[in-house]
Amino acid sequence: MLSDLEIAQSAHLQKIGDVSEKLNIAQEALVNFGPYMAKINIKELRQSEKKDGKLILVTAMSPTPAGEGKTTTTIGLTDAIASQGKSVVACLREPSLGPVFGMKGGATGGGYAQAIPMENINLHFTGDFHAITSANNLLSALIDNHIYHGNELGIDPDAITFKRGLDMNDRSLRKITIDNARYQYQGGFDISVASEVMAIFCLASSLDDLTNRLGEIQVAQNLDKNKSPIYAKDLKAQGSMAALLKDAFMPNLVQTLEHNPVLIHGGPFANIAHGCNSYIATQLGVDMADYVVTEAGFGADLGAEKFIDIKCRQTGLKPSLIVIVATIRAMKYHGGKKVEDLNGQDLNALEKGFSNLERHIENCSQHFGLNIVVAINHFQTDTDEEVKFVQDKVEGLGFKAILCSHWANGSKGAELLAQEAMDLVEKPSQFKFLYDTKDSIASKLSTIAQKIYRAKDIVFEDEALIQLKKIEDEYAHFPVCIAKTPYSFSGDPKGIGAVSDHTLTIREIRLVRGAGFIVAICGSVMTMPGLPLKPASEGISINNNGEIEGLS
């Protein structure tokens, strides 16, 4: 028997043309994928004026197995703002098949605060990630093909830095041997959401910009004594790569359970990439709606920092407010409680774990200069005493913490949050970046580590130091993207709470030239994740009615 929620999902979807009218999108601008999903052909939009909507960034405390609910809160807040008669759109990342079949599951929200049709969005959607993977692997094929047919550019097979991609967790592909009978070298795969093509896709402002950026990807070095760089444009790859991405580059339009518009487009991970949806989708939302609610991946130490220091710096976007999502359960976990013991009241653990939320609040207010509100994502096991404790602690820091029940009650459960958000976006703020692009790469990394992670120092492993020296002179002006565990302020995923005075170890430096930033890989974090002991795929199936079950 279907639950009330499943009935709501299946029986009350609005035609996507009706949803598009809430943003005044002309029907001829829609490229339909069935009745409930569409891409938006920006060239066909007929907008008489741009709205310059207020941008609200949803982030969170450090994630835990207890769950925080950023996407759920993003959608709940969107629905609640819409219920006040305002024009609003949510801008989200597309789910990757890696976590869908791995440990995290889908990424469309939960309860009565969901983007739908959930199954389609989580599985293949409109094919964007497949297009990104194909463009990525076309470039890899062109590199090998060029060497095979004489290697006119003098590519050094041992200095090929561009990796193949796959939108799946598969640890066996982290290192592979490329052998085509004429030569052999060591290569590997990144998950597609960590690829430079994905980063470029999400930062490009137009198809021309996308094409030019693709051509600027550095793929290898020359065999000559100067080790001259080889770019994708040297292989004449950018045009065909862009052709594969042409349709994918159009933003995707779906809806919430309450039929409000959602733009879902692009999706780099925040622990290994910059963690934001595409710029063109966000800008489209700002142009079309009074309010845009978007999210950045994982905790504010990763997602919000990269959203501001990479996405906003490159595009000119400027958020008016940060919403920090927290749960009582997550704070107790950061206070030392085990997952199986989180349901019972424990004010001592809550007080210890509050330090994690407090750190994120301090970082966002002090270093980014933005107005802040905390959204307490309610669970049934939360007690009134626990909620009041957190609200009082947040108020003591000079901010508000609002209890939200959007998972169970949809827009009604986030009305107070919506009212506070709409008030705060009208108040002045002092938006700022964390560091100056004129700083050295090492200085930028130290600034993030010391100010955001509260590390005492950073240490470069030998290989990272060599890589840093190679790019420092020419690319010191690039912003930096730290790839590290999302579960702690440190590089150790077991470092719960608000750890300080740790050392951040950087083992690899990657130049992401086309996207315009530097990636610093820390500790044991992998750009090709693996599946857990019991992957989520084990619980996914199709029932006798042809419906997908077990996907969440």
Q: Give domain limits for the chain.
A: 4-126+248-424, 128-245, 441-522
User: Is 54 part of the annotated catalytic residue set?
Assistant: no
**407 has catalytic annotation:** yes
CATH topology of domain 4-126+248-424: Rossmann fold (3.40.50)
Are 114 and 256 in contact by the 8 Å Cβ rule? The answer is yes
- Maximum distance among all Cα pairs of the chain, rounded to whole angstroms: 73
Task: Specify the CATH superfamily of domain 441-522.
Answer: Formyltetrahydrofolate synthetase, domain 3 (3.10.410.10)
- Residue 359 burial class via C-beta count within 10 angstroms: exposed 0-12, middle 13-18, buried 19 and up: buried
Q: Please list the ranges in the chain whose pLDDT falls under 50.
A: 1-5, 7-8
CATH fold of 128-245 reads: Domain 2, N(10)-formyltetrahydrofolate synthetase (3.30.1510)
Give me Rg for the CA atoms of the chain. Answer: 23
379 classed as catalytic: yes
Catalytic residue among 204, 270, 296, 455: 270
Q: Which member of 22, 39, 93, 513 is catalytic? A: 93
pTM: 0.95
Handedness of CA 18, 20, 21, 27 (dihedral sign): negative
- Rounded Cα–Cα distance for residues 75 and 65 (Å): 21
Which candidate in 59, 64, 71, 72 is catalytic?
A: 72
Q: For residues 539, 542, 545 and 550, what is the CA-based torsion angle, rounded to 10 degrees?
A: 30
Write down the pLDDT at residue 295. Answer: 97
Q: Are strands 503-512 and 517-522 parallel, antiparallel or unpaired?
A: antiparallel
Mean pLDDT, all residues of the chain? 94
The pLDDT value given to residue 107? 85
Q: Which of 125, 162, 249, 298 is catalytic?
A: 298
Q: Which of 162, 201, 379, 517 is catalytic?
A: 379
CA contacts within 13 A on the Cβ side of 98: 24
Instruction: Round to whole Å and give the CA distance between 27 and 279.
Output: 23
Q: C-alpha angle 509/514/517, rounded to 5°?
A: 40
Which of the residues 70, 313, 393, 513 is marked catalytic? 70
Q: What are phi and psi of 140, to 5 degrees?
A: -60, -40
**pLDDT value of residue 1:** 32
> Is 72 one of the annotated active-site residues of the chain?
yes
Q: Give the whole-angstrom CA distance, residue 72 versus residue 123.
A: 19
Q: Is the dihedral of CA 249, 115, 313, 360 positive or negative?
A: negative
Residue 70 bears catalytic tag: yes
Q: Taking Cα atoms as reference points, which of 419, 426, 488, 417 lies closest to residue 454? A: 488
Query: Could you say which of 389, 407, 460, 517 is catalytic?
Result: 407
